[in-house]
Amino acid sequence: MDKLWLIIKREYLTRVTRRSFILATLLTPLAFGLFFVVAGLIFQYESDDSRRIAIIDEGNIFDRSIKDEENLYFKFVDTDLETLRQNFDDFDYDGILVVPKVKDVMATRHTIYYYADKQPSLDIDALIRDRVRGQMRDFKIEALQLDPQQLEALDTRIELEPEPIDDESTDASKLTGAIAAGIGGVMGIIMYIVVFIYGMMVMRSVMEEKTSRIVEVMISSVRPFQLMMGKIVGVGAVGLTQVAIWAILIPIIILVSSLLFGIDSSAQMEMAQQQPGAANFNPEDTEAMVALAIEEFKSLNWWVILPMFIFFFLGGYFLYASLFAAVGSAMGDDLGEGQSLTIPITIPVILAFYIMIVAIQAPNSSLAVWSSIFPLFSPIVMPARLAFSPPVWEVALSVVLLAATAIFFVWLSGRIYRVGILMYGKKVTLKELGKWLFYKD
Amino acid sequence: MKAYEKHVAVNDVSFEVPAGSIFGLLGPNGAGKTSLIRIITTITRADEGVVYLDGEKLNSRHPEEIGYMPEERGLYRKMKVGEHLTYLARLKGLSAKDAKSKISDWMEKFGIEDWWDKKVEELSKGMQQKIQFIATVVHEPKLLILDEPFSGLDPVNTNLIKDEIHSLRGKGMSIIFSTHRMEQVEEICEHIVLINKGENVLEGKVSAVKDRFKQNLFELEYEGELPEGLLEQATVIHQKPGRLTVQVAETAESNTLLRAMLDRGVFVKRFQEILPTLNEIFIRQVN
């Protein structure tokens, strides 16, 4: 036990003190923050050059009143278009907007003209059209003698409010699904990254030990199983450290940078709306939504989700890292040669990742349910489902199966490992690995 | 006995390493030396048979009493020398404090005190070998197993390590020394075992082994002419003016020959038995 502890300590300390680890651990949150700031600034960005636009309102649709925007000034003019165009440079306007008379109030299309030496930028284009559309609507309501209130009543926003079937179940709000999907997705992705990065790290490190021949010195002091476990636990602790630092630093950096750069959350909301599949919020409700989301976020059963997440994190990590260790022990000096051996491990991980993406959209589909129970997929799929409050028996079954499978795979890998690390110059196939399982010590 | 799949690496090898001696484990490539060493160092287990260390059956406490320097050497390249040695020493059961003071002593002995904070990868191969040697002996094992300990060392460092081996033996350490270099065996070992194709071919004290394989060869140097008929009892192997190599049927006959020469007035400058070198014995036994 003492020796296992020594090995874990070395594996952990040599990694966390390495410059590359410190850089990756600190730079990743910074990169996140930078991305956040840049994205926020991009979405906040509107034309910063100020524009003055002359409006020739032939049909008097605007009734000579229009609100100026920041950086955008309108002026109604009576000068005719020809004069304006010919003396464009003298007038110091950036553009001339011509709104022709409305000939047919029933027309659903109306063309307005914008004269300028430069093309209107997209935001100016959108803003002008939006202004004219609103004004045109009022104009038509008046022309058609409609009742604005009746018109308003035609447009109904439908909200779907999920309600429990019996009184005991907790009442979910309309946001529960979206929040759960978000949390599930983040957890699933973290699991995927952890399994890959740290699993591969274990594999490479086993390989290095084998090719540098230190392994023979080591196992004359400790059992091969201790060496393998020490490495897996040590690297796993490195992973937990990194994820924990990220979990603390990323929110702090995002908070600090949003304060520093004055990015408000509505810009982020707009960003969210650009994402396909995100719920289509009405911008006016943004603030209420944020409050509701925070409420939802708090009401999730974190006392269950977090420990479960850590369990699946450890279970999945041990399961896959031990397999990677076994493969690493079988590889020779040639990385390329052994690469084919990693394929049987990476395929389930990648499959699980895709299933996870489907599972957050349909968390109770039979694919999601059975994948979150199947131990090769559950470490990635189940964390994604946790926020959707899956039935207890499913989680329990998944936990038991994963624990049993992880222990079995660690044992299995230990058997391969102890033979593999002493085997040199042999081309290793899966069949060969199978034989090693049954070697005596 | 140790068998790998369809291949028996070591079979029915049996020998005894006398406590406090230097013991040569010899054999051609592929003879099963490494398999045997791995069994002794508890890296693998014998399918059949037992190893006793100090009269005790090999068990899980024994790795701490064994020091093993494999032929293919390796260290963690990114680790600092001091940390590395401490790590290996602690895995052999030393406390952190003991490890540190013993390692410092050894580094001082080898004149490398200032290497503590150097990274292993900054050292040359020969330098790494010294580190490896320290790692092997720092926990003061009862049994030391050295596989080709001098390969890659310059003559100065070879002597340094050789002296250390002798002084460790003086402290009562038993040393198994595995090599192909017969002249080193002859120089260092008191006992040997020769294994071939996984079985032991011969075993014993170096002097006894040589005695067993001697061919009763004698070399003599003389002055003057050899009288006729003097060499009838012996077979002449080699003859030059003033120098002669002969083989006699029995060792005792050498005395008869010498006496006859002296009686006939030959001036004998040198008369010496030629023992076979271990190299010759090795080649003869293995082929």
* pLDDT band at residue B100 using 50, 70 and 90 as cut-offs: very high
Chain B closest CA to A333's CA: distance in Å?
14
SS3 B227: coil
- DSSP label at B236? E
Give chain B positions within 8 Å (CB) of A432: none
- H/E stretch holding B220: strand B217-223
pLDDT by 10-residue block (mean), chain A, 441 residues: 88 91 89 81 66 83 75 81 81 84 83 84 81 85 84 81 65 66 81 85 89 87 91 92 87 79 55 45 58 71 81 90 90 68 87 88 86 91 83 91 94 89 74 74 58
Chain A closest CA to B173's CA: distance in Å?
18
Give chain A positions within 8 Å (CB) of B78: 14, 18
B41 interfaces chain A, CB cutoff of 8 Å: yes
pTM of this prediction? Answer: 0.75
End-to-end CA distance of chain B: 23
Which of B47, B63, B76 shows the shortest C-beta gap to A221? Answer: B63
Asked whether the beta carbons of A422 and B38 are under 8 A apart, the reply is: yes
Q: What are phi and psi of A227, to 5 degrees?
A: -65, -45
- DSSP label at B240? E
Q: Please answer yes or no on whether A14 and B92 come within 8 Å at the CB atom.
A: no
Query: What is the predicted ipTM?
Result: 0.81
- CA closest to A436 among chain B residues: B5
Asked whether the beta carbons of B49 and B1 are under 8 A apart, the reply is: yes
Separation between Cα atoms, residue A313 and residue A298, nearest integer Å: 22
Radius of gyration over alpha carbons of chain B, in Å?
A: 24
Separation between Cα atoms, residue A253 and residue A33, nearest integer Å: 6
**What is the share, in percent, of chain B residues with pLDDT greater than 90?**
19
CA distances from B28 to A393, B214, B236, B285 (A): 64, 22, 33, 10
pLDDT at B281 over 80: yes
B239 HSE (CA, 13 A, CB side): 8
Position A276 scores a pLDDT of 43
Position B36 scores a pLDDT of 86
Closest Cα to residue B62, out of B82, B45, B84, B74?
B45
- DSSP label at B115? G
Chain A closest CA to B93's CA: distance in Å?
8
Separation between Cα atoms, residue B72 and residue B62, nearest integer Å: 22
Position A274 scores a pLDDT of 46
Position B1 scores a pLDDT of 44
Q: Please answer yes or no on whether A422 and B38 come within 8 Å at the CB atom.
A: yes
Separation between Cα atoms, residue A373 and residue A370, nearest integer Å: 5
CA distances from B118 to A381, B84, B160 (A): 46, 10, 22
Separation between Cα atoms, residue A204 and residue A131, nearest integer Å: 62
Query: Which of B5, B35, B44, B65 to mutate to probe the A interface, most A CBs <10 Å?
Result: B44
Per-range mean pLDDT, top range of A284-288, B52-56, B84-88: B84-88
Which of A3, A212, A441 shows the shortest C-beta gap to B91? Answer: A3
More confident residue, B231 or B118: B118
Position A102 scores a pLDDT of 82
Amino acid, res. B259:
R
**What is the share, in percent, of chain B residues with pLDDT greater than 70?**
96
- CA closest to A3 among chain B residues: B91
Separation between Cα atoms, residue B170 and residue B185, nearest integer Å: 18
Amino acid, res. A172:
A
Q: How many CB pairs under 8 A join A and B?
A: 64
CB neighbour list of residue B59: distance below 8 Å, 6 or more residues apart: none
pLDDT at B28 over 60: yes
Asked whether the beta carbons of A317 and A236 are under 8 A apart, the reply is: yes
Closest Cα to residue A85, out of A115, A54, A51?
A115
Asked whether the beta carbons of A95 and A73 are under 8 A apart, the reply is: no
Asked whether the beta carbons of A352 and A312 are under 8 A apart, the reply is: no
Q: Please answer yes or no on whether B74 and A10 come within 8 Å at the CB atom.
A: no
End-to-end CA distance of chain A: 21
Chain B closest CA to A15's CA: distance in Å?
10
Asked whether the beta carbons of B103 and B134 are under 8 A apart, the reply is: yes
Kindly list the residues of chain A whose beta carbon comes within 8 Å of any beta carbon in chain B: 3, 6-7, 10, 14, 18, 209, 212-222, 422, 435, 439-441
Position A338 scores a pLDDT of 65
Give chain A positions within 8 Å (CB) of B99: none
- Residue A121 CA to chain centroid, in angstroms? 31
Question: What is the mean pLDDT of the segment spanning B139-149?
Answer: 90
Q: Please answer yes or no on whether B91 and A6 come within 8 Å at the CB atom.
A: yes
Position A174 scores a pLDDT of 60
Position A337 scores a pLDDT of 63
CB neighbour list of residue A26: distance below 8 Å, 6 or more residues apart: A249
B186: number of Cβ within 10 Å: 15
CB neighbour list of residue B243: distance below 8 Å, 6 or more residues apart: B219, B220, B221, B222
Bridge partners, residue B238, by sequence: B245
Separation between Cα atoms, residue B185 and residue B179, nearest integer Å: 8
Amino acid, res. A94:
D
Which of B38, B88, B90 shows the shortest C-beta gap to A217? Answer: B88
Asked whether the beta carbons of A383 and A188 are under 8 A apart, the reply is: yes
Q: What are phi and psi of A173, to 5 degrees?
A: -95, 175
Query: Residues A22, A28, A31, CA angle at the centre, nearest 5°?
Result: 135
